[in-house]
Amino acid sequence: MRPAHPTEQLVGMDHYVSAADGVGGRLRQRDDHFRVRELERFATEPLSASTDAYPHLVFRATLSGWDTNDFATRLSDALGISRERVNWAGTKDKYAVTTQLFSVYGADPDDLPDVSGAEIEVLGRAGRSIEFGDLAGNAFELVVSEPESPENAAAITDELAAFGGLEGGDADDESSTSVGVPNFFGQQRFGSRRPITHKVGLEIVRGDWEGAVLAYLSNPFESEPDATQEARQFVFDELCEGDDRDWHAALERFPSGLRYERSLLHGLAECDGEPGPVDFRKTLERLPSNLQRLFVHAAQSYAFNLMLSRRLERGLPFEKPVAGDVVCFSDTDAPEGLELPDIDREQRVDERRVRSVTRHCERGRAFVTAPLVGTETELADGEQGEIEREVLAELDLEPADFDLPGEFHSTGTRRAILVRTGLEYDLEPLTLSFSLPKGSYATVLLREYLKVDPVDLG
């Protein structure tokens, strides 16, 4: 174990579990250096099936240079239909080559347009649209550009295999083994270049609506353009304190491209007098609903990451339970070779059950969990329970705090603390291939190999 990059520590990832030096380099030098293919579990009927019973056309698209949302908009515009009639299971990044499923309500194969950067394979028809639950996971094939020490991949792989309770590979140029890493939420959850969404979320959950707005508007980072940094610094210097604050002056300083920040400032500038708590909350509610949810989810994710870091520091295992842990069992419908937790099937592990549950964990049938805290969260017992309570106390949070209005409300859930995968790598060029369950981040595995600034992880 060794200290993580300072930017990762800002979001609760305090350590690398592998002590070996990284390979260096960076990701996404080219789109085809980052390939992602969905692991599907969605059944279709033949194209000849009745369109009355099966009105959704299902196809697989391989996209290059397309964000999923942008491709869906391009598709709906070409078909002359509402964007709401296009559905998919997981949103993918623009700077990659991605293969994923789509469904379109009321379309025929001949209706599908030719789209530059998209290869479309029609699969059949379905009686319902594709949903998030239809995504089991993703398979990755990633090239590391300009690695400084690619030979370090062997030692890192062996350490990650040991961490996951698995056997390591050898030091050949071509290696295949199974590895495990803490199931952290990756940097993207919090903002790759400006990791502040959890700060906003923490203020929301504490009921400080003003603090949430100001956290979003201020907090400049060096990775931002100079004009943006100056605008945020103005908010920090002039608006974070005091009763006579000039929201119009701040609005004039924010570049036009920062539309969410400008929307918040418009709302505050329109207030009759100095804004109060209700005004700040209503201002936040001007933002898209998915962004409102993201703030709270980021706060939950930050607390989760801290809990995993503390478990590492205590030397507690990730691959098997200790007394007091809460485990979940595997999803029996997962694609072959993919360990997929089913968070709806939980069990609290007392002293009598540790040995039997350990056997389930060793076989990939059960997973130790930690909470994404919400109103219905029940904390663990034993040492893990101590960790969970310690982190929440430090953050001044408790489950009842998540009883919030509208999109900010969260009942919480649990999440596996370890993610394991089979991994293959080649050294020339340095290429890593692996699969992860839905909700797990490729960068959380890759950070162990590269050990670089998170910006270089894409």
Separation CA 189–CA 8 (nearest Å): 11
Instruction: Provide the 8-state DSSP code for 193.
Output: S
Instruction: Provide the 8-state DSSP code for 22.
Output: P
Q: Which of 14, 32, 93, 325 is catalytic?
A: 93
* Other C-beta atoms lying within 10 Å of the C-beta of residue 147: 21
The answer to whether 353 and 381 are in contact (CB under 8 A) is no
Separation CA 221–CA 77 (nearest Å): 37
Residues 6+ away with beta carbon under 8 Å from 91: 67, 68, 69
- For the question of residue 93 being annotated catalytic, the response is yes
**3 state SS of 45:** strand
Whether the ω angle into residue 429 lies within 30 degrees of 0, i.e. cis, is: yes
Find, among 448, 450, 457, the residue nearest to 18 by Cα.
Answer: 448
Residue whose tokens read 């100056």: 230
What are the counts of helices (DSSP H) followed by strands (DSSP E) for the chain?
13, 15
What H or E segment, with its residue span, contains residue 103? strand 97-105
The length of the chain, given as a count of residues? 458
Catalytic residues: 93
